[in-house]
Amino acid sequence: MSTVKPRDGDTAATAILGLKVRPGLEREYETWQKGVNAAAAEYAGHLGAEVSPPTPLQPDWVVVYRFDSIAHLQAWINSATRQDLLDAGRRYFDGPGTQQVVRGGVQAPDPLVTAVIAHRVHPDHVDEFLDWQQRMSREEQTFEGFRGTELFRPIEGLQDEWTTLYRFDSAEHLDAWLTSGQRRKILAEGKKFNEFRLRTIDNSFGSWFAFEGNGEQAPPPSETKTAIAVWIGLYPTVVLLTLALSPLKMPLWIGLLVGNLLSSFIMSFLTMPYYVNPLLKRWLRPAPGEPAARTNRIGLAIVAGVTAFWAVAFYLITTRFWTLP
């Protein structure tokens, strides 16, 4: 069982921005956002940026910036560079966006759905607010699919709100909690805290390369590393599925249809999070300051060794122990 404790001692900092983009300007916005992210990468302490387009669960564009400290994040957010870029890109947005900043925190290792809730709390009511959040958390933990809660204090000079992150394993389970009678009852008990903003973030796809940590992640892996990592997972997945399905003797067109469907699920829920990500973690997301040449040598050596292992294993299985029909 976890308890909600305010997070304020971690050094890393994350900004979560919600943006409404005008219909028809999405592609222009994406080009502009890439330029903004490139500018952010030039600032001290930058660890990475992620952009998530709208989904049925997440109606707005979500941009996440990670820096190694509040000071460095604040330097970027308040910079003249960013302000000039925002002025140039103002035409892409349909109304003002939202922004929450949290100190520290972890990236979820599974494809989770996160609700980000921001509260304004009077300084005289902080203790009462924390007790109320504890009651909320204890009740939340009884719901199916619950994966954790984090509570973040306001940050002087940057954000006046308390921010709470609720994580569930699916949109359905999160919605069951958000619309439950138990939550409504606790909200009624804390009426003075009922002025809040809620945003839902769908992490279903970015989770393939999300690692748990202390917030000090390196930037996301390159497209080349990503492609190699997927290949490392795809090869044994596809071969094992082919062997498993071969006794069914399905026609080629239906066999590929079923095999591709199963491989997609297996890759997302088993191969990537439990095999490839742990195996190649230090190569895909090396620790800040670790020499790139060294991590690349180690990573490519692991890739070569694993590939040779599976190639030899499947050669023996399919030629010595089992011949496919």
**DSSP assigned state of 248:** G
DSSP 118-151: EE---GGGHHHHHHHHHHHHHHHTTSTTEEEEEE
| pLDDT value of position 111 | 55
Q: Is 131 exposed, middle or buried (0-12, 13-18, 19+ CB in 10 A)?
A: exposed
Q: What are phi and psi of 67, to 5 degrees?
A: -130, 165
And the tokens for 299? 């990573």
| pLDDT value of position 167 | 80
| pLDDT value of position 227 | 87
Beta pairing class for 146-152 and 6-7: parallel
98-122 pLDDT, tens digit each:
788 877 654 444 456 778 888 888 8
**Per-residue pLDDT in tens (0 to 9) along the chain, 325 residues:** 344 555 444 467 888 888 889 999 999 999 999 999 999 999 988 888 888 888 777 788 888 888 888 888 888 988 999 989 998 998 999 887 778 887 765 444 445 677 888 888 888 888 898 898 888 888 888 998 887 777 878 877 677 788 888 888 787 888 888 889 998 898 888 878 877 777 677 654 344 444 443 333 445 677 788 889 999 999 999 999 988 998 888 898 898 899 899 998 899 888 988 899 889 988 887 765 678 788 889 999 999 999 999 999 999 988 887 765 5
Task: Find the radius of gyration of the CA atoms of the chain.
Answer: 23
For the chain, list the domains and their CATH numbers. Answer: 6-209 (3.30.70.100), 223-321 (no CATH)
pTM value is 0.51
> How many C-beta neighbours within 10 Å does residue 33 have?
19
Beta pairing class for 98-103 and 13-19: antiparallel
And the tokens for 264? 């997609």
Going through the chain in order, the beta strands assigned E by DSSP cover 6-7, 13-19, 46-52, 61-67, 98-103, 113-119, 146-152, 162-168, 196-202
Q: How far apart, in whole angstroms, are the C-alpha atoms of residue 136 and residue 4?
A: 9
Please list, in sequence order, all residues whose beta carbon lies within 8 angstroms of the beta carbon of residue 281, skipping any fewer than 6 positions away.
Answer: 211
| pLDDT value of position 309 | 96
| pLDDT value of position 160 | 79
| pLDDT value of position 319 | 85
| pLDDT value of position 239 | 92
229-253 pLDDT, tens digit each:
999 999 999 999 988 998 888 898 8
| pLDDT value of position 294 | 87
And the tokens for 23? 């219909």
